[in-house]
Amino acid sequence: MRVESEELDAEIAGTTTGDRLEVHAWRESVLVAQHLDVSAWSLGWDADRQVQGQATVTVGDPDGSLAPWGMSDPLGPGGSRLQITWVSGLSGTRVPLGWWRIRRPDPRETWLTYNLGDGRAVRIAGGGSVTIQADEETASAVMDRLDAEVIRAATCVAEVRRLMQDICPVVAHPDVVDGPVPGSLVYGDGRMDAVDDLLSVIGATYRMGPDGAMELVPTAGVGPVWTLAGGEDGVLVGLARSLSDDGVYNAAISTGETPDGRPLVGRAYILSGPLRWGGPFGKVPIFHRSIATTQAGVDADAETLLANRVASGEVDLTVTCLTHPGLQIQDRVTVIAATTAGELPLEGRVVGMRMTSATSDSGTTPSKKMTLTVRVSAQALEAVAARVRRG
């Protein structure tokens, strides 16, 4: 959670008015444009992308001073950042939504022509807007490729910090257990690929925090941090489910090799329940190339991979709920689902989130509703299914 506050939770569940988005532009730690006049915006996060956060912000430009001509202009794509903050209209509570690198500004300008009366005409700016495509700071890490980089730190978290030291700070969640960098790990030219490889060794993943730091969190997520229930005082608007066997596995096979080049194979299986190996679901393994160099190492890698798949969730639910600006991807939430057997809890990990603007009498405000993608385990859905079948 970006901000944990009972007052904020109460505001979200109740009637709100005057909420707004505050946007400033910075370049090289210098404020170059403040309190931009935001007329429309959308912020989206997807945990399955390397650049998880992507934003579109449209700002007013009445005198043409903001429309960029060069890369180094305040809203140009030459390194400027947007600092975005959600502000409550009731309490003034501020929720930082992070720092966003400007990737593509798209100016829309109008011009007015005046006749000076002596046969001459002059054109002046008649107002316009700039629509900005911006990404989270991980975009900088994707752009900043490695050049024959070698491992220098002893542990995975320390090495991630080193790889990101010129891009953003790195903060590890207390539940992340650091471990040594495997000696067999070799980098390609992708900086974020290297980060992904290092974090997979210790069962962790990342997200960008409200202050622009990269947060390292467990693969299974953080929390649960919020309960989404329906009803008059609840925040749940709608829940849709579309079950698919895509991405669902009941075994993990990990391959590696010994220091002298002999192949190693480790296997782990789900041996009970409706998805058991060899049952009605069949035999559906996921394969992983391990950096382990011993049989015990690839066995452990297979067990860990399968356990992480089960814990982090395999089936995605689409949830519509009241907008909570403090929520982040990789947060775990509890969704109270309405079923024919009554209301039943489903705990899952937020892997997608989308917040947008709405137009009201007071101008552009955050929409009261947002969309989440919550990834739950197949076992959790089976438990609900069993309750529904029993009635």
Residues 11-28: tens digit of each pLDDT:
888 777 788 999 999 999
**pLDDT, position 185:** 84
| Mean pLDDT confidence for 180-203 | 90
| Mean pLDDT confidence for 130-142 | 97
Print burial letters for 136-145: b (CB count within 10 Å at least 16), e (below 16). Answer: bbbbbbeeee
Residue 219 host element (H or E): none
pLDDT score of 104 more than 80: yes
Q: Global pTM? A: 0.88
Beta strand residue intervals within 92-173, DSSP E: 94-115, 121-136, 170-172
**pLDDT, position 195:** 97
pLDDT score of 227 more than 70: yes
Report d(CA 212, CA 2) in Å as an integer: 11
Question: By three-state DSSP, how is residue 385 classified?
Answer: helix
Q: Which amino acid is at 50?
A: Q
Question: By three-state DSSP, how is residue 235 classified?
Answer: coil
**pLDDT, position 125:** 67
Per-residue pLDDT band at 361 (split at 50, 70, 90): low
Per-residue pLDDT band at 362 (split at 50, 70, 90): low
Could you tell me which residues are beta bridge partners of residue 320? 238, 371
82-91, 303-312, 357-366, 372-381: least confidently modelled range: 357-366
